[in-house]
Amino acid sequence: MAIIHSIIIKFFGSLQTHYWKIVYKSYRRKYKVPDSFWFGGESIQFYGEGAIEIGENSYIGRYSSIYACKGYKVKIGNNVAISHYVMIYTENNLADQDFNLSPKKTNKANVEIGDACWIGAKVFIKEGVKIGSNCVIGANSVVIKDMPDNSICSGIPAKVIRFKNI
Query: Residue 8: is its pLDDT beyond 70?
Result: no
Q: Which residues contact 38 (CB under 8 A, 6 or more apart)?
A: 58, 59, 60
Does residue 125 sit in helix, strand or coil? strand
Q: How high does pLDDT run on average in the chain?
A: 94
Which superfamily does 2-163 belong to? Hexapeptide repeat proteins (2.160.10.10)
Percent pLDDT > 70 in the chain is 93
Residue 148 confidence (pLDDT): 98
pLDDT tens digits for 33-54? 999 999 999 999 999 999 999 9
pLDDT tens digits for 103-154? 889 999 999 999 999 999 999 999 999 999 999 999 999 999 999 999 999 9
- Identify which of 157, 65, 154 has the alpha carbon closest to the alpha carbon of residue 111: 65
The band of 17, judged by pLDDT with boundaries at 50, 70 and 90, is: confident
- Identify which of 65, 9, 69 has the alpha carbon closest to the alpha carbon of residue 39: 65
Long-range contacts of residues 8-16, Cβ cutoff 8 Å, at least 24 apart: 16/42
Q: Cα(78)–Cα(2) distance, rounded to whole angstroms?
A: 45
